[in-house]
Structure 1
């Protein structure tokens, strides 16, 4: 599940603001420390100038000469700060050294034939300065937390109209509103989006209405003449005067009518958007028997065995009409291409398998058997079939989420495996075979 727009806006705004606050705090700290050092150096410079003038004017003010330092050491601290012997190696100028954990500044200037060391202790001032800097950094952290809270609130204001648009789109989906009202939105971009969406929704509604009218017309205008053709064929078939080529033509017309009827049912089923939710428990063995009935004459004529090796207690939750169309097309394909042997139905591990003993499918043709209008070389027969049955089967399986696999070898038959969802409990070990059908 993706992150919400509000969360993304909050994260981006918070990260940018916190980064700016941290950059500002670090910049202020660096600048303050630099200015502090410059101020200390300036104070030492002025003080040293005054001290040198006073010592030159009145040498009696000079501090005692320090033999260890080989110079005069002046300090205002009590007790006085003792400089380390290593300070004698420092050049003339102002230096910062650490004595007993304290930062001490030492100004060194030449004084006659020796040197003058002036010790300055700004540790109290520097502690106060560091306290101010730490308070500044703590304040930055507080402002960062406040920024996150403000960002979440502000992002809610920014995306509230987007959320409102999403709610209205959902209302459109469930038919609770004819269109989205653009007057509820004041952002120019959202107004344009609403107008574009309304236009798209109107065109989609018109298209859906046309599809409903078309499917209704197809259902009535095609099924009625097909029923008439089928009935007429059945009546003519009872006429003993019709024989030879005329009876063969009559059988072809009847077969074509059956094909058109199944094709019409499949196309209408695929055209209905809500058909994927129309499911019910279906007895697989019974449905296979029903799907085999239209092919009984062809099965008997070829002397094929139709073996249903499926537990009669097995139920799957599917769309009955969709599975009937799939089985009808798969059985038609198996019977049409099988001249001897059997068509075997079995079920195990969630897979319904239909196996025949036909000529099989060439290996190079297997990747294309589900393509629309595809027919493998050498597979065309005088029987009905235009290469669309397996394409419809694949589309129906995709619609309902059924997996379908096809395995075949030349001269060794074909096996189609169909995985049906939500299988109901079945009696283990019970096998009901019908052979021949």
Structure 2
């Protein structure tokens, strides 16, 4: 989960401040308790010295002798206290015991042949001390909550310029072209960031402009000679003086020109971001027939049967040019690697399946078939490709959100599955006509 910079600053600041407050409160509590014990010890030490001096000066002031404890039990400013018999086992010194839910202090000193037990009750004082400590801890909690609230408010002031910079960057991403003004920012780091971003944005804008000019030039400079080549071949083919072998060569030139034009279209589509918006309902069988048309002679020559097993009224929502390039490349691969048998097209549950009975692909090569310039196995010189067709297919599928899967076994054929969403129902398009297979 991602959090805002303001939240992180507030969290760190409040956590650090709360930790310091708690540490301070615990330190004050520990110090106060230690000072309390020192004060009580000093009071007991002074009092017991005075009591011993008074009893030695006037033995008549001694309290009754307690045989159980083998000593005298004296209470300071309070009625006599009945000490438990286990008190007799206490060594000489000052001790704390719990008596009737009260913590009392007992000073044990030798006196004559016995001992003197001096009892002090500081419970009232200790209760007041605990109340003060509890108030201190409660105040720490209140200050911690106040710190969290103040931290969130102050963090907003600290990151306000960063938030403003983010808004301006977003405005540039949405189409703004005016550079960000670094004079609006006070922090040196933000000024440097703004200047670096302005420089990067300017270079990106120049690069995009050059790319647009390049794609425009490619569109004109390559399509025009390709159209000229194709038109010249069509005119030559009508010349009765052209022999059969020459006509075969002309058809090869036409197919090569068509392939080059499709490759140019694919590269232009990949270079234009706005092409993802050009989605329309298209008849799938019509697109398949168009993709098969350039390979009709080869399929017939090899005796490969083509099957289009789907409803002729299936319409899908897609970019027509992108889908034509994808189907052309997938069909080309299927036909190129199938010397006999069939090439089958079917559509079920939103998936177009293109299966063939060709040579298949080794298992180790399947993960790499969409890599640029990768070829699963050496091909015949006449059928040699450059390993870019499937890479273009994968790029186009990623661009338009079409999932693509490939399953293959050597010598048992290949099946490519392409996820194509159906167009919204209830509409009619004028290109309806039955498909042939």
State TM-score, norm by structure 1. 0.92
The match for 2:8 is 8
The match for 1:29 is 29
The 5-angstrom pairing of residues 178-197 of structure 1 reads 178-197=178-197
The match for 2:96 is 96
Q: Does structure 1 conserve the Cα–Cα contact (< 8 Å) formed by 2:109 and 2:115? A: yes
Q: CA deviation at 1:290?
A: 2.9
Change over 3 Å in CA distance of 1:316–1:238 after alignment to 2: same
The match for 1:49 is 49
Q: Distance in 2 between matches of 1:233 and 1:418?
A: 35
**Which stretch has the larger CA shift, 65-74 or 228-237?**
65-74
Q: Does structure 1 conserve the Cα–Cα contact (< 8 Å) formed by 2:76 and 2:118? A: no
**Which stretch has the larger CA shift, 96-105 or 109-118?**
109-118
The match for 1:358 is 358
Q: CA deviation at 1:422?
A: 5.2
Q: Does structure 2 conserve the Cα–Cα contact (< 8 Å) formed by 1:314 and 1:424? A: no
State TM-score, norm by structure 2. 0.92
Q: CA deviation at 1:97?
A: 1.1
The match for 2:398 is 398
Q: Distance in 2 between matches of 1:40 and 1:384?
A: 100
Tell me the secondary structure at the aligned position of residue 94 of structure 2: strand
Residue 216 (str. 1) matches residue 216 (str. 2): yes
The 5-angstrom pairing of residues 299-318 of structure 1 reads 299-318=299-318
Q: CA deviation at 1:174?
A: 1.2
Q: Distance in 1 between matches of 2:364 and 2:434?
A: 34
Q: Distance in 1 between matches of 2:176 and 2:221?
A: 33
Q: Distance in 2 between matches of 1:293 and 1:409?
A: 27
Q: CA deviation at 1:9?
A: 1.6
**Which stretch has the larger CA shift, 114-123 or 206-215?**
114-123
For residues 339-372 of structure 1, what are the alpha-carbon distances to aligned partners after superposition, in whole Å with 9 as ceiling and x for unaligned? 4433211011222011223333445543433232
How many positions carry a matched residue from both structures? Answer: 431
The 5-angstrom pairing of residues 31-430 of structure 1 reads 31-382=31-382, 385-421=385-421, 424=424
For residues 165-187 of structure 1, what are the alpha-carbon distances to aligned partners after superposition, in whole Å with 9 as ceiling and x for unaligned? 11011000112342111111111
Q: Distance in 1 between matches of 2:381 and 2:424?
A: 39
Q: CA deviation at 1:2?
A: 1.1
Q: Which runs of 5+ in 1 are unaligned?
A: 427-431
Q: Does structure 2 conserve the Cα–Cα contact (< 8 Å) formed by 1:308 and 1:433? A: no
Tell me the secondary structure at the aligned position of residue 387 of structure 2: coil
Q: Distance in 2 between matches of 1:325 and 1:148?
A: 59
Q: CA deviation at 1:384?
A: 7.7
Q: CA deviation at 1:374?
A: 3.3
Change over 3 Å in CA distance of 1:315–1:251 after alignment to 2: closer
Tell me the secondary structure at the aligned position of residue 382 of structure 1: helix
Q: CA deviation at 1:409?
A: 3.4
Q: Which runs of 5+ in 2 are unaligned?
A: 427-432
**Which stretch has the larger CA shift, 375-384 or 112-121?**
375-384
Q: CA deviation at 1:207?
A: 0.5
Change over 3 Å in CA distance of 1:369–1:78 after alignment to 2: closer
Q: Does structure 2 conserve the Cα–Cα contact (< 8 Å) formed by 1:310 and 1:346? A: yes
For residues 233-275 of structure 1, what are the alpha-carbon distances to aligned partners after superposition, in whole Å with 9 as ceiling and x for unaligned? 1111111212244333322221221111000000000011222
Change over 3 Å in CA distance of 1:138–1:376 after alignment to 2: closer
Tell me the secondary structure at the aligned position of residue 68 of structure 2: coil
Change over 3 Å in CA distance of 1:53–1:411 after alignment to 2: closer
Tell me the secondary structure at the aligned position of residue 159 of structure 2: helix
Q: CA deviation at 1:53?
A: 1.9
For residues 17-40 of structure 1, what are the alpha-carbon distances to aligned partners after superposition, in whole Å with 9 as ceiling and x for unaligned? 212211111111111111101100
Q: Distance in 2 between matches of 1:367 and 1:105?
A: 83
Tell me the secondary structure at the aligned position of residue 82 of structure 2: coil
Q: Does structure 2 conserve the Cα–Cα contact (< 8 Å) formed by 1:284 and 1:316? A: yes
Q: Does structure 2 conserve the Cα–Cα contact (< 8 Å) formed by 1:350 and 1:423? A: no
The match for 1:429 is none
Q: CA deviation at 1:434?
A: 5.1
**Which stretch has the larger CA shift, 28-37 or 243-252?**
243-252
Q: Distance in 1 between matches of 2:407 and 2:11?
A: 52
Q: Distance in 2 between matches of 1:124 and 1:104?
A: 11
Q: CA deviation at 1:98?
A: 1.0
Change over 3 Å in CA distance of 1:223–1:140 after alignment to 2: same
Q: CA deviation at 1:279?
A: 2.0
